[in-house]
A and B are shown apart, each in its own frame.
Chain A
Amino acid sequence: MSRQGLKTMDQAQTVNKELYEFKNKRVSIMNKLMPVLLLLCASVSILTTFGIVVTLITETYHFFKVIPIFDFLFGTKWSPLIPPKSFGVLPLLSGTLLITVIACLVAIPLGLASAIYLSEYAPKRVRKIIKPILEVLAGVPTIVYGYFALSLITPMIQSVFGSAGVFNALSAGIVVGIMIIPMVSSLSEDAMSAVPRSLRDGAYALGATRFEVALKIVVPAAFSGIVASAVLAFSRAIGETMIVTLAAGSTPNMTINPLDSIQTMTAYIVQVSLGDTPHGSIEYGSIFAVGMTLFVITFLLNIFAQYIARKFREEY
């Protein structure tokens, strides 16, 4: 090999080495930098919670400086826009509760029965078709359900009960119930499928029929999951907004008559934000106070559901 050739090879090696070191450096910087960036991404979720809590607390605090907290929590008249103004949240709470109870009366029996059918009775092929169809119910936008309530369910109710108005709690409650069926059925079915086969086999070997296995073995064994799914569905129904805004009306009413028009907490928030409420006014503040109430209730229910699912789970 000539001198010249040796030199170029030398050079090439140095260049190569430099390139390698440069690349190495970049690699190691990336390796150190990325975890930090990724942690930042993950902290967005913490910041979101923080943002929600801080926003709700500060604005609610301002609201309570004008309206005493006692009047808010225990007042029985909600009339925020028409004087004499009154900010007692109980009518909104009772409206929300009425809707939620109707929804759960629809969703829990139907959802649980579907879950038992899918997990214990249905052949594999049927389950593979029915389960996704039921889950579509959870993916339908709530505005679509609102339309469904107004155009189909309300007329049906009116033809049965002549006294029902265009806006009534029953129609909204039933449709919210249909919407949360898959929450109950899917989560309960998951809990039932987790019950080991051997338990069922043991019962069958003793001569049990399918419903005995389902109701006396599987349901008790999966009970914590079933209760948790019901609590989650309840919480979801409380937070539901568009269906109740469209179908349940906007009259804050303390009633247990499901044919009456009522207003839920969520529907009130929508009603105020649709109007042009000036920032800093008492109506504006009331959104946050009601939002805070809503947030606290759903938060506690969700924590409760997680607690039940963990605490009372049967381990096999």
Chain B
Amino acid sequence: MNIFQDANRKQIAGRRRTDWLLHMLFVIATSIGVLALCALIIDILIDGIVRLQPDLFNNFPSRKADGSGMKSALVGTIYMLLIMAPISFIFGVGAAIYLEEYAKKGRLTRLIQLNISTLAGVPSIVYGILGLALFVRLLALDRSLIAGALTMTLLVLPIIIVAAQEAIRAVPRSRRDASFALGATKWQTVSRSVMPSALPGVLTGVILAMSRAIGETAPLVMIGALTYVAFLPDGLRDSFTVIPIQVYNWLSKPQIEFKELAASGIIVLLVLLLLMNFSAILLRNKYQKNV
């Protein structure tokens, strides 16, 4: 009897030890991801903080690293956001409303839905190829701000549609029923009862999609956003550059000074992203309190 008990105890102790070991292993694995993020941020801060001066925001890029700035890239990024935000909002939210409120469960709806989830998985550079063929060549928009903004709109649309669909789906049925009971039409119900209630969630999704867009480099390289732009874009048809492309340009130069400039450009980009994500979180928290 005693022998069995001992064997049993030994076996349990062994299993406990394995449990503890694996626990540690999982903790270590998880912390590697977190540490990588910390290393990345610290590395960039150390390299870039010296160049984070007024020159960076006030000057155009130049051949010499000293006094070189990214004014045109910063302005280009903001212009691109201003153009694509309304377009992608209208089309993205429109599509989401259609799919959630109007579409009958059928073949077409399933096709659109499947199509959206597939588009979300298409590599961003493929959107660049589409932009190059469609906007730059076919519509002859050239390597312009509008061509870039439209390409990026197509890229973020699936993200916005999915987020907006979730927000609309979260609106309780009773709200719609109440509106119908008051004699409202379908569109009145959607526009005055459902959408106001879904709006914070929708906006959160739009902001997150925009933050994805300002970090994208590859599609804009494809459609030929220029790497050296020493002027501010004046109209939709002007050539332009954005922060990630300016960073890429600096990174491809061998001198160490340009590497520092690239790091400081990255800091600006990350701060911009942080602000956008922070506002999205604020919106979401406010929204969660209200429901």
Closest to A284 in B: B132
Q: How large is the interface on B (under 10, 10 to 19, 20 to 34, 35 or more residues)?
A: 35 or more
- Convert B255-266 into 0s and 1s, putting 1 for each residue whose CB lies closer than 8 angstroms to a CB of A: 000010011001
Is B40 in the interface zone, CB < 8 Å from A?
yes
Contact B134 A143 (CB under 8 A): no
Complex partner residue of A299 from B23, B97, B122, B247, CB under 8 angstroms: B122
Tell me the complex Cα distance, A263–B258, Å: 24
Q: Which of B63-71, B184-192, B199-207 contacts A (4 or more CB under 8 A)?
A: B184-192
Is B277 in the interface zone, CB < 8 Å from A?
yes
Is B161 in the interface zone, CB < 8 Å from A?
yes
Measured between beta carbons, the chain B residues less than 8 angstroms from A206 are none
Measured between beta carbons, the chain B residues less than 8 angstroms from A40 are 94
Complex partner residue of A56 from B39, B99, B117, B129, CB under 8 angstroms: B129
Tell me the complex Cα distance, A147–B265, Å: 11
Is B275 in the interface zone, CB < 8 Å from A?
no
Contact A42 B94 (CB under 8 A): yes
Closest to B123 in A: A239
Is B177 in the interface zone, CB < 8 Å from A?
no
Tell me the complex Cα distance, A35–B95, Å: 10
- Convert A266-293 into 0s and 1s, putting 1 for each residue whose CB lies closer than 8 angstroms to a CB of B: 1001100110000100000001100100
Is B248 in the interface zone, CB < 8 Å from A?
yes
Within 8 A of B (CB), among A124-153: 130, 133-134, 136-137, 139-148, 150-152
Contact A211 B112 (CB under 8 A): no
Name the distance in Å between B147's Cβ and chain A's nearest Cβ: 13
Contact B95 A41 (CB under 8 A): yes
Is A238 in the interface zone, CB < 8 Å from B?
yes
Contact A52 B122 (CB under 8 A): yes
Measured between beta carbons, the chain A residues less than 8 angstroms from B215 are 139-144
Complex partner residue of A152 from B30, B43, B122, B266, CB under 8 angstroms: B43
Is B37 in the interface zone, CB < 8 Å from A?
yes
Is A59 in the interface zone, CB < 8 Å from B?
yes
Measured between beta carbons, the chain A residues less than 8 angstroms from B266 are 143-144, 147
How many of chain A's residues have a CB under 8 angstroms from any CB in B? 87
Is B27 in the interface zone, CB < 8 Å from A?
yes
Tell me the complex Cα distance, A116–B29, Å: 10
Is B76 in the interface zone, CB < 8 Å from A?
no
Given A31-B185, A147-B251, A270-B218, A117:B26 Cβ within 8 A: yes
Measured between beta carbons, the chain B residues less than 8 angstroms from A211 are 18-19, 22-23
Name the distance in Å between B50's Cβ and chain A's nearest Cβ: 14
Measured between beta carbons, the chain A residues less than 8 angstroms from B37 are 133, 136-137, 140
Contact A212 B15 (CB under 8 A): yes
Tell me the complex Cα distance, A180–B238, Å: 36
Name the distance in Å between A44's Cβ and chain B's nearest Cβ: 5
Is B126 in the interface zone, CB < 8 Å from A?
yes
Is B90 in the interface zone, CB < 8 Å from A?
yes
Given A117-B30, A141-B217, A55:B129 Cβ within 8 A: yes
Is B81 in the interface zone, CB < 8 Å from A?
no
Contact B40 A148 (CB under 8 A): yes
Measured between beta carbons, the chain B residues less than 8 angstroms from A266 are 123, 125, 218
Within 8 A of B (CB), among A85-131: 109-111, 113-114, 116-118, 121-122, 130
Tell me the complex Cα distance, A144–B92, Å: 28
Is A51 in the interface zone, CB < 8 Å from B?
yes
Measured between beta carbons, the chain B residues less than 8 angstroms from A27 are 185, 187-188
Is B198 in the interface zone, CB < 8 Å from A?
no
Interface residues of A (CB under 8 A from B): 27-28, 30-31, 34-35, 37-46, 48-49, 51-52, 55-56, 59, 109-111, 113-114, 116-118, 121-122, 130, 133-134, 136-137, 139-148, 150-152, 178, 181-182, 185, 209-212, 214-215, 232, 235-236, 238-242, 245-246, 266, 269-270, 273-274, 279, 287-288, 291, 294-295, 298-299, 302-303, 306
Interface residues of B (CB under 8 A from A): 15-16, 18-19, 22-23, 25-27, 29-30, 32-34, 36-37, 39-40, 43-44, 47, 90-95, 97-99, 102-103, 111-112, 115-119, 121-130, 132-134, 137, 154, 157-158, 161, 185-188, 190-191, 211-212, 214-218, 221-222, 224, 227, 244, 247-248, 251-252, 259, 262-263, 266, 269-270, 273, 277
A-B contact pairs, 25 of them (CB 8 A): A30-B187, A31-B185, A44-B95, A44-B157, A48-B119, A52-B130, A56-B126, A114-B29, A121-B27, A140-B40, A141-B214, A141-B215, A141-B216, A142-B215, A142-B216, A143-B248, A144-B270, A145-B40, A147-B263, A151-B259, A209-B19, A239-B123, A273-B222, A294-B123, A294-B126
**Can you name 17 extra interface pairs (CB under 8 A) apart from A141-B244, A141-B269?**
A34-B190, A39-B98, A41-B91, A41-B95, A45-B95, A113-B30, A116-B26, A137-B33, A141-B216, A144-B40, A152-B43, A242-B244, A270-B125, A273-B221, A294-B123, A295-B123, A302-B118
